[in-house]
Amino acid sequence: MFEQSLDLRPSPIAGTWYPADPAALAAEVDHYLQTAAAHLPPLEGEVVGVVAPHAGIRYSGPVAGYAFAAVQGSAPDVVAVLSPMHHPYPDPLLTTAHVAYATPLGAVPVDHEALHAFSEALYARLGFAPTPVVNDPEHALEIELPFLQRALAAPFRLLPLMLRDYRAETCQAIGETLAEVLADRAALLVASSDLSHYYPAPVARRLDQTMLQRIAALDPEGVLQADQEGVGFACGAGPVAAVLWAARAWGARRGVVLHYATSGDVTGDHSAVVGYGAVAILR
């Protein structure tokens, strides 16, 4: 089989964060996509990027479905997914050392040609490149892959990046370098981020609306500033900012908030929630 010939990054979250059974996973993702597609707001222009949450699929899947319904049926040949790295690696930027990511829906091959070009260009600009890691435990990047596998019309190659350095100069360099390297490709940008964590629902909604407004305004500096000042939160503020800089370099002019919810909408406990937002970035 194709998968057996590859050096696969094994999934550390299949069976916990999302179903390990392929049919069950496909059915759940398809349900979220179909529900979202029926309620998408009008999208005038080309969707060049999306922001999607990354909690366990039961919690954030109903919101993530909106982000990926906005690109359903499209066929980019490369998808750059930028996520946080929640684990204490010492490096500012990481990628996978594997040839492909394994999910229950099949292997997602890494675009090592694009990754190499990006690494060289970023090194020339910042003096460092993504550090390849083996068997990383990060969920925030992987959780987006089944949605891409079900939503996109054709197989795609992945450019995976996991950020730990959220300084503005780093995020801007990552985003603008991505835009340069992928300028002549049929490419899609995905920023993986949840919003505020463990505030009462009314407080979370206020904080999250501030962050979503700045994302929709394509204001990467504002996203990072809101997170730093505590007026809005995003655990993937750096990946979001980098994607916004990349999208602006491609001529994106606005974002549309597609959906917002919290973990309380699933659990019924609104005393301490996690916020989830889906945004489409348009040019």
CATH code of the domain covering residue 141: 3.40.830.10
Residue 215 CB neighbours (<10 A): 29
Confidence of residue 6 (pLDDT cuts 50, 70, 90): low
Q: Nearest 5 degrees, angle CA 38-CA 44-CA 48?
A: 90
Q: For 226-250, what is the mean pLDDT?
A: 98
Ramachandran assignment for 205, one of left (phi > 0), alpha (psi -120 to 50 degrees), beta (any other): alpha
Domain count within the chain: 1
Q: What mean pLDDT do residues 231-247 have?
A: 98
Asked whether the predicted pLDDT for residue 86 surpasses 80, the reply is yes
| E strand or H helix that includes residue 278 | strand 273-282
What value does the mean pLDDT take over residues 7-16?
A: 97
Instruction: List the domain range (segments joined by +) for residue 145.
Output: 3-282
Q: What is the mean pLDDT of the chain?
A: 97
pLDDT tens profile 33-76? 999 999 999 999 999 999 999 999 999 999 999 999 999 999 99
Report the pLDDT value the prediction gives residue 2, as an integer from 0 to 100: 35
Helices (H), the chain: 22-37, 57-69, 112-126, 139-142, 145-151, 168-181, 201-216, 220-229, 237-249, 264-267
Tell me the whole-structure pTM to 2 decimals: 0.97
